[in-house]
Amino acid sequence: MAEVLVVTSGKGGVGKTTSTASLGVALAQSGQKVVIVDFDVGLRNLDLIMGAERRVVFDLINVVQGDAKLAQALIRDKRVDTLSLLAASQTRDKDALSEEGVERVIGELREKFDWVICDSPAGIEKGAALAMKYADRAVVVTNPEVSSVRDSDRIIGLLDSKTAKAERGERMEKQLLLTRYDPVRAERGDMLKTDDVLEILSIPLLGIIPDSEEVLKASNLGSPVTLSSPTSAPARAYFDAAKRLRGETVPMTVHSDKSGLLGRLFGRRVA
């Protein structure tokens, strides 16, 4: 039976879809059967990052509405055979999703995979609410800036009140993924430090993804950074985060591609 994980954020553009793809690859490469599901109906991007945009025939809406079977819509990755994608629709709107349909599809996916990773749209509208509705746990993605952190705080409140687990009186496990982090700028006070973000949000830290051009290069190539540049600093950070999701104890490190003094200073463990 799969664990259903929602990757969510309050603010757009924080690296949520990139993180969904990169974590999915990292988990799949460890031997886990993983499916990543794009809930961003109308603004489909996950298939682009996965390099599968030309392979989409049926999508999440088709399956939810019963126009296609799940097996017809699932796209198996050609590079990692334990990884699959269920794309969003690019021509429909979020009103085409229904709670009953999403619950049924998530239930079917639970039976086939070890991990179901739901890529939520940013914000608090219907698509985001349904992406988190049937999750077992959540990864909240935020940048180290005040507006992003404030919006993430609101998402945490929704996870604690609007999910099926919350309605049953159960606790939703939430972890923070801090993206686009630059320790040099944080030291200068140009962005929030890790401790500042943790103090505001008060949820455990899953990982720190350093700011890196490798992430943008990977997206443009249609390949998550954990595939296209597996030894880069962001890829190593995602691999560490995936291990923590599986329950492994991994020291929290700010990875760096820089050599010399800066690499020794900032490629270090976080207390």
User: What are 40-92's pLDDT values in tens digits?
Assistant: 887 778 999 999 999 999 999 999 999 999 999 999 999 999 999 999 987 77
Place of tokens 């059967």: 33
Q: Which domains does the chain have, with CATH numbers?
A: 3-266 (3.40.50.300)
Residue 32's pLDDT is what?
95
Average pLDDT, rounded, for the chain: 91
Cα–Cα distance list, 100 to 57, 63, 104, 106, 152 (Å): 23, 12, 6, 10, 27
**How would residue 261 be classed by pLDDT, with cut points 50, 70 and 90?**
very low
Residue 50's pLDDT is what?
94
| Helix (H), strand (E) at residue 5 | strand 3-8
The residue-averaged pLDDT of 236-255 equals: 96
Tell if the pTM clears 0.75, that is, is over it: yes
Residue 11's pLDDT is what?
83
Place of tokens 């190539």: 221
**How would residue 126 be classed by pLDDT, with cut points 50, 70 and 90?**
confident
